[in-house]
Amino acid sequence: MTALPDPETRDLFDAAPWAALAQAEFGAAAGVPTMLSAGEQRLYLWLARDWARGAGAIVDLGCFAGGSTARLAEGRRQAGHRASVHAFDRFTASEELKARMLYPAGIPPFAGGDILPLVRRLLAPWDALVTLHPGEIADQHWSDGPIEILAIDAAKSDAMADAIAARFLPGLIPGGSMVIQQDYFHWRQPWLAAQMARLADCFAPLAVCPPTSAVFLCTRAPDADMLARAACTGLDDAALAAGLAAARAQMARFGQAARFDRLAAALAANPGGRVAWRMRKP
């Protein structure tokens, strides 16, 4: 049974009020490099500033150089909330990634793959609000209270998606927490849509934000047994395809048939493929 949001919340997200945000509202966050689209940047700021009530932490999983964290922290600062923004990442970057994402944004070239010192400098305006968690996300655990916004951009394999779910989803607030699956429609990661469909009793889809993000309201915090039953690790291709079909039905009102077609095609073109960077284009 798919969980449903209340009509007021559904109407609010259908109106996509974040789309009206002006660039000036980002303040210093506008200068922090990010892989987010313009629409996703507005969504992050709006959720932290206008949706959140300060009832729990904001958790940003896979923040690269801190761009998403900066937008979330700026929203939190403008709202006057004190609960921290927790950013998890390896905080490393290859030479190719630095050349593609950092140097064009005005970051002077530097040696080595460690970007943690850079991230600390970039996030200095929100130092009192942000807590950084360097290292492998799968090796870490959440014990800092309820989570009000959970932004996920690190589920690059089915195993990582399940590890993230087990560690962070139980901390969500029923009726008050949002999950942003930033790669929900990314063709390289078809397990994400299947995972959220398998957790349909706990999450109601609220919005789609191009190019690949989807936003879900937590209606029920999943417990360990529910997460074990919903796990994608070990599913064969037929079971994962069934999960995609369920996700297509769950998200039907958003009109994303072409994107679901591509997810299904990617799964068919990569038998047994469960690691994003190894997936071949369909």
Does the structure show a pLDDT above 80 at 3? no
Q: Percent of the chain having pLDDT more than 90?
A: 95
80 domain-assigned: yes
2 domain-assigned: no
pTM for this prediction: 0.96
What integer is the mean pLDDT of 183-203? 97
53 domain-assigned: yes
* 8's tokens: 């007021």
Does the structure show a pLDDT above 90 at 5? no
Question: Are 47 and 73 within 8 A, CB to CB?
Answer: no
Summarised one tens digit per residue, pLDDT across range 206-225 is: 999 999 999 999 999 999 99
- Burial per residue of 69-83, b for 16 or more beta-carbon CB atoms within 10 angstroms, e otherwise: bbbbbbbbbeeebeb
78 domain-assigned: yes
Does the structure show a pLDDT above 90 at 270? yes
For residue 65, the model assigns a pLDDT of 95
For residue 1, the model assigns a pLDDT of 58
Summarised one tens digit per residue, pLDDT across range 237-255 is: 999 999 999 999 999 999 9
Comparing C-alpha atoms, which of 159, 162, 202 is closest to residue 178?
202
Task: Say how many domains are in the chain.
Answer: 1
Summarised one tens digit per residue, pLDDT across range 111-166 is: 999 999 999 999 999 999 999 999 999 999 899 999 999 999 999 999 999 999 99
Q: Percent of the chain having pLDDT more than 70?
A: 99
- The DSSP line for 83-138 is SPEEEEE--B--HHHIIIIIGGGTPPP-SSSB-HHHHHHHTGGGTTTEEEEES-GG
Domain interval for residue 128:
7-278
For residue 99, the model assigns a pLDDT of 96
1 domain-assigned: no
Does the structure show a pLDDT above 70 at 2? no
216 domain-assigned: yes
Instruction: Find where tokens 């660039």 sit.
Output: 23
Is the C-alpha dihedral spanning 22, 26, 31, 37 positive or negative?
negative
| Close Cβ partners of 4 (under 8 Å, ≥ 6 residues apart) | 10, 204, 219
Summarised one tens digit per residue, pLDDT across range 76-86 is: 999 999 899 99
At 232, the pLDDT band (50, 70, 90 cuts) reads very high
**What's the chain's average pLDDT?**
96
13 domain-assigned: yes
What integer is the mean pLDDT of 170-198? 97
Does the structure show a pLDDT above 80 at 12? yes
CATH number at residue 258: 3.40.50.150
44 domain-assigned: yes
